[in-house]
C-alpha cells in the first residue's frame, strides 16, 4: 500500500514524490490526477523528473503515475551493488511490484522512453488485458546489431560494455556528465543537469547507469535480454493495442531499420516531434499535446 509521505521538489518541478514499499526497498513516484492510470516510465540516466513538463498536459485525463526506477531518482539504492545487481530482470521485478502496489493493474496507458520502453513493453506483453494503450519515443523495439547503432556513439558504448566500462561510468560518470547533456538538443539547464546528477554523486550509486548500456541486446548479448526484447517485439507486431509513436526528429536510437519496423505495427498513430534522444526534454509540450489528443481516443 502506498505511503502518504511526500517530499518537496524544486520550483521547476510541480510534483511532489510519494513513496511505496516494493519488497525490501522503497520507490519514489509522482501521483497526480484521477481516473484510469497513465504510467510514465523513464530510462537511463534520468528519473520521473523527465516527465515534469509533459504530465501537466494530461493530468486531467487520468491518474498520472511516474516512478523513479529502483536505484535511480529518489528511489532506494540496492545494497552491495556490482555487476548484474541492476539487471533488466531485477528492474522488471521491481516495476511489476510497483504496479501492483500503486494499483495500476487495469486500463493502463503506458508512456515510455529509453529503457522505460523495454520495461513497459515487457510488462504490457505479460499483462495484455491490463493495457489500454502504449505511447513511446526513442524506444528499444527490437534486438540490434552494431550496424544499427549511431556511428558517433558506437565507440563509447563498446567501451562501456567492455573492461573499461567501470572507469568511464563509475569513475568519470560519463552517462550523466557527457551523454545526457550532449543528447538534449535545446540544451540542458544547470538546474536540470544537477537534478539528474543528484542520485549519482557517489561512485557506487552509478551502477544502474553502467548496467543499462550493458543490458542493450546487441549481437545477441546479453542473451536473456535479447530473448525478452524479441518476445515483446513479436507481441507488439501483432497486438491491436493502440500505439502512439512519438517519432523524434532527428532522434538517436529509434531510427533506420527500427523505425521502419515500428511503422508496420498495427493500430499505430505516428506524430513527429523535434528532439534528440532525450526528446521529453527537447519537446515536452509537443509530446504533451500529442498525448492529450490521443488518450481520449482510447475509449
Give the residue numbers marked as catalytic.
Answer: 114, 138, 277
* 119 SS3 class: helix
Contact status, residue 67 vs residue 98, Cβ threshold 8 Å: yes
The span from the CA of 97 to the CA of 26, in Å, is: 11
Identify the bridge partners of residue 268 per DSSP, sorted by sequence position.
243
Closest CA to 275 of 293, 290, 292, 257: 290
The span from the CA of 291 to the CA of 217, in Å, is: 29
Torsion of CA 47, 49, 50, 54, to 10 degrees: 140
Contact status, residue 59 vs residue 15, Cβ threshold 8 Å: no
The span from the CA of 298 to the CA of 120, in Å, is: 18
Closest CA to 47 of 283, 289, 288, 280: 280
Contact status, residue 275 vs residue 283, Cβ threshold 8 Å: yes
Contact status, residue 268 vs residue 245, Cβ threshold 8 Å: yes
**Across the beta sheet with 37-41, what order do the strands follow?**
6-7, 17-22, 25-32, 63-67, 37-41, 108-114, 131-139, 243-250, 268-275
Amino acid at each position: 500500500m502506498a505511503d502518504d509521505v511526500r517530499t518537496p521538489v524544486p520550483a521547476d518541478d510541480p510534483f511532489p514524490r510519494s513513496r511505496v514499499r516494493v519488497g525490501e526497498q522503497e520507490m519514489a513516484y509522482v501521483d497526480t490526477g484521477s481516473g484510469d492510470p497513465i504510467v510514465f516510465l523513464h530510462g537511463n540516466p534520468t528519473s520521473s523528473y523527465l516527465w515534469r513538463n509533459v504530465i501537466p498536459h494530461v493530468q486531467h485525463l487520468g491518474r498520472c503515475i511516474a516512478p523513479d526506477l529502483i536505484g535511480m531518482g529518489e528511489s532506494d539504492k540496492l545494497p552491495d551493488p556490482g555487476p548484474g545487481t541492476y539487471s533488466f530482470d531485477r528492474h522488471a521485478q521491481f516495476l511489476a511490484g510497483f504496479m501492483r502496489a500503486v494499483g495500476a493493474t487495469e486500463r493502463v496507458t503506458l508512456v515510455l522512453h529509453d529503457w522505460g520502453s523495454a520495461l513497459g513493453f515487457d510488462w504490457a506483453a505479460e499483462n495484455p488485458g491490463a493495457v489500454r494503450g502504449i505511447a513511446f519515443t526513442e524506444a528499444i523495439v527490437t534486438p540490434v546489431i552494431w550496424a544499427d547503432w549511431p556511428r558517433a556513439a558506437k565507440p563509447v558504448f563498446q567501451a562501456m560494455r567492455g573492461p573499461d566500462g567501470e572507469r568511464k561510468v563509475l569513475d568519470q560518470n560519463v552517462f550523466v556528465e557527457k551523454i545526457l547533456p550532449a543528447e538534449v538538443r535545446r540544451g540542458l539547464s544547470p538546474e536540470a543537469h544537477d537534478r539528474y546528477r543528484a542520485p549519482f554523486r557517489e561512485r557506487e550509486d552509478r551502477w544502474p547507469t553502467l548496467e543499462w548500456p550493458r543490458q542493450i541486446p546487441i549481437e545477441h548479448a546479453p542473451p536473456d535480454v535479447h530473448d525478452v526484447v524479441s518476445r515483446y517485439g513479436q507481441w507488439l507486431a501483432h497486438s491491436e493495442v493502440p500505439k502512439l509513436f512519438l517519432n523524434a526528429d532527428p532522434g538517436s536510437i529509434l531510427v533506420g531499420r527500427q523505425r521502419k519496423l515500428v511503422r508496420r505495427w498495427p493500430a499505430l498513430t505516428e506524430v513527429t516531434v523535434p528532439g534528440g534522444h532525450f526528446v521529453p526534454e527537447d519537446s515536452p509540450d509537443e509530446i504533451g499535446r500529442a498525448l492529450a489528443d490521443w488518450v481520449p481516443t482510447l475509449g
